[in-house]
Amino acid sequence: TQLLEQSPQFLSIQEGENLTVYCNSSSVFSSLQWYRQEPGEGPVLLVTVVTGGEVKKLKRLTFQFGDARKDSSLHITAAQPGDTGLYLCAGVKGSNYKLTFGKGTLLTVNP
Amino acid sequence: DTEVTQTPKHLVMGMTNKKSLKCEQHMGHRAMYWYKQKAKKPPELMFVYSYEKLSINESVPSRFSPECPNSSLLNLHLHALQPEDSALYLCASSHPGGPEAFFGQGTRLTVV
């Protein structure tokens, strides 16, 4: 059973378009993180959301944590080729150390 | 300094070899992790060390042996691996209880 469901799994868009990636679960998470990973490299932390209903902005990226802390979304405005990569959501339940990953969304932004 | 450093970046080893992967962080994090990642898949947790003690082993085969010599270092000793063990091995660290984990660049391991 996949605790975190990400959608879409693959996304190919043109430069300048907007997109939204979703991360959903039936479980409550104490926090959710979003990472971006390029081929052959380690995941790079983009943001952590902790409070239900929280919205965080990072330049053209907007992250939202659902009110019930079961889901999150990542919205990218005016995508650029440099946004290309694997976007992973990951959650922590309670106070343990296990970071559970979604399957990821592979984004390709074409020039 | 928010860096986790892994060495080597690439490793090719035979099925009878013994090798070690190394990970170092100087962020004062007391939790360190090993993950395994196959192509186009998410990272899978292997081991967690908390305050230099092994706290989680996700039923990893004994041919993988972790070691945490001190709060800054984490090793993964490899022996008698199989070709299906070829993957990107990622080290991460965090404050105990997280939530943010910081990852190294990984070691691309190929078993021949």
Read off the pLDDT of residues B64-76 as tens digits, 9 standing for 90 and up: 999 999 999 999 9
- Minimal CA separation from A102 to chain B, in Å: 7
Q: How far is residue A102's CA from residue A68's CA, in Å, rounded to a whole number?
A: 18
* Residue B105 falls in which region: left (phi positive, over 0), alpha (psi -120 to 50) or beta: alpha
- Residue % of chain B over a pLDDT of 90: 88
* Residue A7 pLDDT > 80: yes
Nearest to B31 among A50, A97, A103 (CB): A97
Contact B90, B78 (CB under 8 A): no
Residue B105 tokens read as: 């660049």
Pairing of strands A105-110, A10-14: parallel
Nearest to A88 among B6, B42, B102 (CB): B42
Three-state DSSP class for residue B101: coil
Pairing of strands B107-111, B10-13: parallel
DSSP B29: -
The verdict on a CB contact (< 8 Å) between A50 and B99 is yes
Does the CB of B108 have a partner CB in chain A at under 8 Å?
A: yes
Give the residue from chain A lying closest to B58, CA to CA: A98
Does the CB of A41 have a partner CB in chain B at under 8 Å?
A: yes
pLDDT at res. B52:
95
DSSP A38: -
Nearest to A33 among B45, B97, B99 (CB): B99
**Tens of pLDDT, residues A29-65:** 888 999 999 988 999 999 999 999 999 999 999 999 9
